[in-house]
Amino acid sequence: EAGVAQSPRYKIIEKRQSVAFWCNPISGHATLYWYQQILGQGPKLLIQFQNNGVVDDSQLPKDRFSAERLKGVDSTLKIQPAKLEDSAVYLCASSSNIAVLSSYEQYFGPGTRLTVT
């Protein structure tokens, strides 16, 4: 079974530029998560999708971050304009279906390391 795919793996941009990350979850997984992991901290949830609907985006800085999951499969996360404090690893994860009690396992992609200079 193929895992969660993310691209690019690394990105360096200047502040005020824009950037986009792509995620392809495990086939058939209904729930998709984007996390931000700042160095020395645990992953922090930015947004959670169930199919192509947003379940939780309470910690997404909506003035600069946006995310979409068209057709309930792939997802993109965009930052525009980037700030220095956005430097972090952006992790995508998927799980089968949050409505199914047993499907609590999340599977993570390798992440995208973003450096904003």
List of residues contacting other proteins (CB under 8 A): 4, 31, 33, 40-45, 48, 55-56, 91, 93, 98, 104-111
* CA 7/CA 93 separation, integer angstroms: 13
Nearest to other proteins of 36, 79 (CB atom):
36
- State in angstroms the smallest separation of the CB of 65 from other proteins: 17
DSSP state of 109: -
Nearest to other proteins of 43, 69 (CB atom):
43
- State in angstroms the smallest separation of the CB of 14 from other proteins: 24
Structure tokens at 94: 């998927």
Strand, coil or helix: 70: helix
